Structure 1
């Protein structure tokens, strides 16, 4: 299995390129990472933002850790972005991603991604509004793909999420988005599929099945977020805890689907109250468990 880490585990703890790269490379023994906007905010003034982002990129490059992509985190996820109810909010969502693309280019990272966003409570129940806002969101993403290509990126990613008020959520939603964008964007748009999202049984019921995701939209999956979960909420637990996803299940899935290019990115989100020592030891244990299963 090709393992890496989303850097969400490190927020508020290990800051700066050299320091965080040392944790990933020496403590965890990983060669692949996904940067998170929770470390560097796309909305910061561009000169300072890019200087700090380049410091992270340089530290990881010096440690021989590949930052594969630059992805929205907890802070970004709280906003409606492309599916917001007003033109002003949707324009800000587009600008948010544009700034993130600019930061990604400054880091010389090839891919940027995020969830599309949620509809408002009222819009989510109005099929006509949903469709109108969705069509506008597609146009925005096509436009951003042009900007991303000119900035030197090679792909964008969208992450499906386990809420009926968001899009895409299901595998069928995700396939629709990919088909609607096919041939329209200047660079490919791919899916970042999270195991904990896909296995959310209250929404998906019998379709909470990763094999189903591979059958329906496997050709469009660029990478995976992996996490431990109970299938009842989006837990982002580590694999040191019991749940419905085991390292053995992940290894079997990897082998059965003959995966080679995608990366399993641990996206573990700890309570801020956990000690740094606990977080680091827990991450090290999880990497060992995953490697033993592989």
Structure 2
């Protein structure tokens, strides 16, 4: 069973002490959840980062952070807002450099409205307009990520089209931009908006997939339940993952952190992950 994919977790530093052995004993992938907070980024974030460093002494796994996202649309057409948005992401990358984190999760700009309306404009390509705005917002951020060896992974939020983030990531022509999938978000889009099932999102991302938030859900809301509590078809998801070689970080992103170890046990019992 040791060839099964190794699971990691998303944790705030305040919870990391409780999961130290889980993370450090096998150098599992870790995503720190503190640094999406704008007030923290504007304040004494190094105090939190130093605490994380102390708890991770000797850690040799792959470390990442969830970047800022509240109120930040990377496709904003407003030049004034783009300056602010880019600055927040640059703050996140400053944290990454300080911690040695090699991934930062950012959110997709695409909405459910976009799926039904981007083809509704004849005077110009609405698809190109979104991509152009993303480049105007993120070009400096991508260059900075390249310089420090951090990859920005674009997570689906409302995305109904499983290809659209991969196309956006590819447009930067940079190894510092890749694709993330949140299984609960994909399942919401499937159950509520008629999107493909989660395993289709995996296949369409292919080897551009470098990060996954694993959470269970019911297809109606963004539940972040423990694995096995919802209706995602996990065997199909892990079958699809086995078809590619990009070795994405498999991050359990659960609302109730007490569900992390039971989720690992559930997937291990089914022979899917460890």
- What interval of TM-score do these two structures reach, taking the shorter chain for normalisation? 0.7 to 0.9
- Shift of the 153–50 alpha-carbon distance from structure 1 to 2, 3 Å rule, reads farther
Q: Match for residue 201 of structure 1? A: 190
TM-score by length of 1: 0.73
Query: How far apart, CA to CA, are the structure 2 residues paired with 1:22 and 1:209?
Result: 31
The answer to whether the 8 Å contact 1:224/1:265 transfers is: yes
Q: Match for residue 221 of structure 2? A: 233
Query: How far apart, CA to CA, are the structure 1 residues paired with 2:223 and 2:238?
Result: 20
Q: Match for residue 166 of structure 1? A: none
Q: Note the C-alpha offset of 1:175.
A: 2.8
Correspondence 1:10-159 to 2 at 5 A:
11=12, 15=14, 20-26=16-22, 31-38=27-34, 41=37, 43-44=39-40, 48-62=44-58, 64=59, 66-72=61-67, 76-84=68-76, 86-117=78-109, 127=121, 131-150=128-147, 152-159=148-155
Query: How far apart, CA to CA, are the structure 1 residues paired with 2:163 and 2:207?
Result: 13
The answer to whether the 8 Å contact 2:208/2:246 transfers is: no
The answer to whether the 8 Å contact 1:160/1:170 transfers is: no
Q: Match for residue 268 of structure 1? A: 254
TM-score by length of 2: 0.78
Query: How far apart, CA to CA, are the structure 2 residues paired with 1:80 and 1:214?
Result: 25
Query: How far apart, CA to CA, are the structure 2 residues paired with 1:90 and 1:42?
Result: 16
Q: Match for residue 274 of structure 1? A: none
Q: Match for residue 8 of structure 2? A: 4
**Greater Cα offset, 134-143 or 95-104:** 134-143
- Runs of at least 5 residues in structure 2 that lack an aligned partner in the other structure: none
- Shift of the 175–130 alpha-carbon distance from structure 1 to 2, 3 Å rule, reads closer
Q: Note the C-alpha offset of 1:28.
A: 10
**Residues paired across the two proteins, number:** 260
Query: How far apart, CA to CA, are the structure 1 residues paired with 2:73 and 2:262?
Result: 36
Query: How far apart, CA to CA, are the structure 2 residues paired with 1:138 and 1:27?
Result: 36
